[in-house]
Amino acid sequence: MPKDRKIGIAMDFSESSKNALKWAFENLADKGDTFYIIHTLSTSDVDSHNSAWLESGSPLIPLVEFREPEIMEKYGVKIDIPVLDMLDTGSRQKEVHVVTKIYWGDAREALVDAVEDLKLDSIVMGSRGLSALRRIIMGSVSSFVIQHAPCPVTVVKDNDSH
């Protein structure tokens, strides 16, 4: 029986976010689920045709469109072939829908906004394994999301941080 869950994946194309995506496909994905790939960009990256979406984020972008270089370029997202391949393969094998939504602004706040806007059942994100001092100075995106998101948050540690 399909679960039809809405699962967010925080994606900044770092190794830790790629590990989180891989973990989500291996451990959470079930037929009928929807994976929302949530990518945040700095407000300085907003150009004139994206400024209308500054507050609400981009429209939902289906995976088939997100693969297109001109779509990626339109939103200012760099192409990452391994991530696109993982999304293609995972969506086919696990029979999940994949859509992307791009937000502009502070990643911590944007991810919490995404959880609320998209009514996500859970969100999965990577952990960069910041030292205690860097976490105090910079703040941890995952800590902020854990504290403020109204849904379960799964933080996937990097393989080398065990």
125 in Cβ contact with 141 (< 8 Å): yes
Model confidence, pTM: 0.87
In which band, very low, low, confident or very high, does the pLDDT at 1 lie, cut at 50, 70 and 90?
very low
Return d(Cα 37, Cα 65) in angstroms, integer: 13
Residue 21, Cα to own-chain centre: how many angstroms? 8
Return d(Cα 56, Cα 29) in angstroms, integer: 27
Residues 9-31, mean pLDDT to the nearest whole number: 94
In this prediction, residue 78 carries a pLDDT of 86
β-partners of residue 127 are 157
**Residue found under tokens 């540690």:** 157
Return d(Cα 107, Cα 87) in angstroms, integer: 22
In which band, very low, low, confident or very high, does the pLDDT at 138 lie, cut at 50, 70 and 90?
very low
Tell me: pLDDT of 98 over 80: yes
